[in-house]
């Protein structure tokens, strides 16, 4: 990584990075993939790759993609949560990369829960 040589250069970097981090601090929809060792062993990396590709393909800007560790539901891995502001948390289990376009299309974009993949709900 190159050294930052001026205050103006630092400001330009800050401005360009703010677009990348804005979704985390806003009321964005959050997609959380369980990346504990149990999740990774069950295919969470492939699910995460599919999530990132689908969000990029659709040009979704107001979606925050995050990771979490093991939450004790190892038998249901890979796990993927979708959290809408003020609408609670939906947890999908045994998610495959092939399920991701449907979850993103139905739930993340249109707000319709993919009922057949849901394993848990937490209401606000």
Look at residues 44, 88, 101 and name the one whose alpha carbon lies nearest to residue 67: 44
Please state, rounded to an integer, the average pLDDT across all residues of the chain: 90
**Within a domain: residue 11?**
no
Report whether 33 contacts 67 (CB < 8 A).
yes
pLDDT above 70 for 21: no
State the total domains in the chain: 1
pLDDT tier for residue 5 given thresholds of 50, 70 and 90: confident
Using CB atoms within 10 A of its CB, is residue 114 exposed (0-12), middle (13-18) or buried (19+)?
middle
Does the CA dihedral 93-96-99-103 come out positive or negative? Answer: positive
CATH no. for residue 62? 3.40.30.10
For 39-87, write each residue's pLDDT tens digit: 999 999 999 999 999 999 999 988 999 999 999 999 999 999 999 888 8
Does 19 map to a domain?
Answer: no
| Inside any domain, residue 103 | yes
Q: Identify whether 60 is part of a domain.
A: yes
20, pLDDT greater than 60: no
Domain housing 101: 25-122
């Amino acid at each position: 990584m190159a050294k930052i040589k001026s205050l103006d250069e630092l400001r330009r970097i800050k401005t360009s990075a703010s677009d990348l981090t804005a979704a985390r601090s806003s009321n964005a929809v959050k997609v959380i993939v369980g990346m504990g060792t149990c999740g990774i062993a069950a295919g969470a990396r492939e699910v995460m790759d599919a999530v990132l590709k689908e969000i990029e393909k659709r040009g979704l800007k107001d979606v925050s993609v995050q990771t979490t560790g093991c939450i004790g539901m190892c038998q249901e891995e890979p796990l993927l949560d979708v959290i809408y502001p003020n609408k609670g948390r939906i947890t999908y289990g045994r998610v495959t990369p092939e399920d991701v376009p449907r979850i993103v299309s139905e739930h993340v974009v249109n707000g319709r829960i993919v009922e057949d993949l849901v394993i848990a709900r937490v209401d606000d």
